[in-house]
């Protein structure tokens, strides 16, 4: 049966699509697709053609090659057989004669069946996301991001307004009592004394020497002035202060990114250092200053010091890595940076002063004991002679035995003493403390501007690492959406071979644009609507 040739062919200039399927056009339905191409300017519309075979991929038209040389895309409809538009890439245009041109084409399977197939759940490797809020997309990208630079510094190392660093003197409690007390929330058998001048510390040490208590000194160390109130007393045995700063969600080394993932770790973060090798990285997105809102605008640390026989200072993040909170202000002690290296101090003892104190304490006691012991022994010796004998024995025995002791004591007091001073304890230098740099610093770090631009462009073109099972979304962004899958599943009213080809396209990765005139224009604002 003869069928009147009524196939239609429409030729378009290069619209930015090619057979490698790096880029494609997205349409929500077959009707929307066909209507879109009907409104595109055409190079030529050819009617009343015989059946166009996609297997052969060749169309011969009676048109000079010069008239269609710029054609790069086509669609055709075999009205008598299947009232459907097929879309195809023009691979070559060849001259056959002055009035005859041969067009070679390959079917654009993705566009041809767009609107007729459905995507099932599969593993989506990469994709543009609908929510680009800071802290939502934090999967490791596995890309090189270069070195980090310091954008800002918050310095908490100041040792106070005075040029003098307080002295802590730890002494054993006085004998004869329990002594000691609570220091830093912990019981201590030592007495903790704090002095804010060298003179007051010297006076305290000399007083101990005068009391023959110099050996009670356990150790002496120095610490930053900010850990002690001006009067020289720790604040309830503890120093505590909260430091709050704005999250630097503005630029990276001066570069303003289009993709908010660049404001997250490892591209942007805070580093806390104690200046002595102990440091730790903190992710801005993990500070929940408002419960349930990781992108809120501030981050906070608590600096706290506890006093005792030794002092330790901690720098702890507040509400860090907390998903839900009963209230604000939760300290994360396991995420701390600590400081416990405070320099020990030596001190001098006036040897003659110490000797004198010792003799003033020991001589009267020894003499008293000698008289007492002598009286007792003498009394015992005279007991057999009756009362008078006992009294005489006590007097004579006590006095006679004590005379020797007195002579001994007097002899000791005449022993020459080496005049001068004796150094006690251990002297340590501490450059950081001496130069008022002891304590903590926050370094706000980010990648360089050059790397930020490279990575930002990569995210713009290829989206974020998703790596989860879901239905691929070809329409996540206002201008274009990139999708790459593993084991994509395509279903619908289309040939199975064509469905497999479309699955391979998704598995290789494809970028879906809303308009052909925008293909390749990455300067457009493609932020989520």
The answer to whether 300 touches 271, Cβ cutoff 8 Å, is no
Same domain, 191 and 273: yes
| Tens of pLDDT, residues 254-275 | 999 999 999 999 999 999 999 8
The DSSP bridge partners found for residue 87 are: 75
Domain assignment present for 186: yes
If you average pLDDT over residues 217-224, what whole number do you get? 85
Same domain, 335 and 439: yes
Which one is predicted more confidently, 232 or 186?
Answer: 186
Which one is predicted more confidently, 346 or 127?
Answer: 127
**Predicted TM-score (pTM) of this structure:** 0.79
Total domains in the chain come to 4
Which range of 79-83, 140-144, 237-241, 377-381 scores highest in mean pLDDT? It is: 140-144
Domain assignment present for 1: no
Give the pairing type, strands 23-25 and 71-77: unpaired
Please state the length of the chain. 529
If you average pLDDT over residues 489-496, what whole number do you get? 96
| Residue 464: domain span | 118-142+460-493+500-515
The predicted pLDDT at position 402 comes to 47
Same domain, 21 and 91: yes
Q: Band of the pLDDT at 312, cuts 50, 70, 90?
A: confident
Same domain, 155 and 291: yes
Is the pLDDT reported for residue 222 higher than 90?
Answer: no
Q: Band of the pLDDT at 391, cuts 50, 70, 90?
A: very low
Domain assignment present for 524: no
Q: Band of the pLDDT at 213, cuts 50, 70, 90?
A: confident
CA distance 78 to 72: 20
Check residue 75 and give left, alpha or beta (phi > 0: left; psi -120 to 50: alpha).
beta
| Boundary-marking domain end, from 422, 449, 480 | 422
The predicted pLDDT at position 194 comes to 84
Domain assignment present for 476: yes
Q: Picking from 80-89, 202-211, 349-358, 383-392, which range would have the lowest pLDDT averaged per residue?
A: 383-392
The predicted pLDDT at position 155 comes to 93
Is the pLDDT reported for residue 388 higher than 50?
Answer: no
DSSP 8-state symbol, 29: S
Same domain, 363 and 412: yes
Domain assignment present for 311: yes
The predicted pLDDT at position 227 comes to 79
Give the pairing type, strands 186-188 and 181-183: antiparallel
Which one is predicted more confidently, 370 or 290?
Answer: 290
CA distance 348 to 329: 46
Same domain, 190 and 255: yes
DSSP string, 339-402: E----B--EEEEHHHHHHHHHHHHHHHHHHHHHHHHHHHHHHHTGGGHHHHHHHHHHHHHHHHH
The DSSP bridge partners found for residue 183 are: 186
| Tens of pLDDT, residues 13-36 | 989 999 999 999 999 999 999 999
């Amino acid at each position: 049966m003869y069928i009147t040739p009524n196939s239609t062919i429409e030729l378009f200039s290069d619209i930015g699509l090619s057979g490698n399927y790096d880029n494609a056009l997205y349409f929500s339905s077959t009707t929307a697709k066909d209507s879109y191409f009907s409104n595109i300017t055409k190079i030529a519309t050819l009617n009343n053609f015989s059946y166009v075979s996609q297997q052969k991929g060749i169309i011969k038209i009676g048109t000079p090659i010069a008239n269609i040389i710029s054609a790069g895309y086509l669609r055709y409809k075999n009205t008598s057989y299947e009232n459907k538009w097929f879309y195809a890439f023009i691979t070559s245009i060849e001259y056959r004669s002055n009035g005859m041109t041969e067009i070679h084409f390959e079917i654009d399977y993705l566009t041809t069946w767009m609107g007729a197939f459905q995507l099932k759940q599969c593993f989506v490797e990469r994709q543009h996301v609908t929510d680009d809020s800071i802290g939502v997309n934090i999967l490791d990208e596995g890309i090189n991001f270069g070195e980090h630079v310091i954008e800002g510094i918050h310095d908490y190392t100041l040792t106070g307004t005075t040029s003098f660093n307080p002295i802590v003197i730890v002494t054993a409690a006085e004998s004869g009592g329990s002594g000691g007390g609570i220091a830093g929330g912990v019981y201590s058998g030592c007495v903790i004394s704090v002095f804010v001048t060298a003179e007051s510390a010297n006076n305290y040490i000399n007083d101990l020497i005068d009391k023959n208590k110099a050996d009670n000194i356990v150790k002496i160390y120095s610490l930053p002035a900010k850990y002690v109130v001006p009067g020289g007393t720790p604040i309830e045995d503890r120093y505590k202060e909260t430091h709050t700063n704005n999250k630097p969600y503005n630029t990276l080394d001066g570069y303003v990114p289009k993709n908010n993932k660049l404001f997250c770790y490892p591209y942007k973060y805070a580093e806390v250092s104690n200046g002595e090798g102990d440091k730790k990285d903190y992710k801005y997105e993990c500070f929940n200053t408002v419960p349930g809102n990781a992108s809120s605008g501030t981050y906070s640390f608590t600096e706290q010091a506890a006093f005792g026989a030794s002092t330790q200072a901690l720098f702890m993040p507040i509400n860090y890595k907390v998903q839900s909170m009963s209230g604000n202000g939760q300290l994360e002690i396991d995420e701390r940076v600590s400081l416990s290296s405070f320099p020990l101090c030596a001190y001098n003892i006036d040897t003659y002063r110490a000797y004198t104190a010792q003799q003033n304490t020991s001589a009267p006691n020894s003499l008293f004991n000698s008289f007492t012991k002598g009286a007792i022994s003498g009394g015992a010796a005279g007991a057999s002679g009756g009362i008078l004998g006992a009294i005489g024995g006590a007097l004579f025995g006590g006095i006679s035995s004590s005379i020797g002791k007195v002579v001994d004591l007097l002899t000791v007091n005449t022993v020459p003493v080496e005049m001068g001073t004796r150094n006690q304890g251990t002297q340590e230098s501490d450059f950081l403390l001496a130069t008022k740099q002891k304590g903590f610093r926050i370094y706000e770090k980010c990648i360089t501007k050059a790397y930020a631009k490279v990575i930002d462009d990569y995210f713009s073109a290829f989206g974020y690492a998703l790596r989860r099972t879901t239905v691929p979304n070809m329409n996540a962004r206002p201008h274009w959406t990139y999708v790459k899958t593993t084991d994509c599943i395509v279903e619908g009213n289309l040939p199975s071979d064509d469905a497999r080809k479309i699955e391979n396209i998704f598995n290789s990765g494809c970028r879906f644009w809303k308009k052909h005139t925008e293909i390749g224009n990455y300067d457009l604002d493609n932020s989520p609507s």
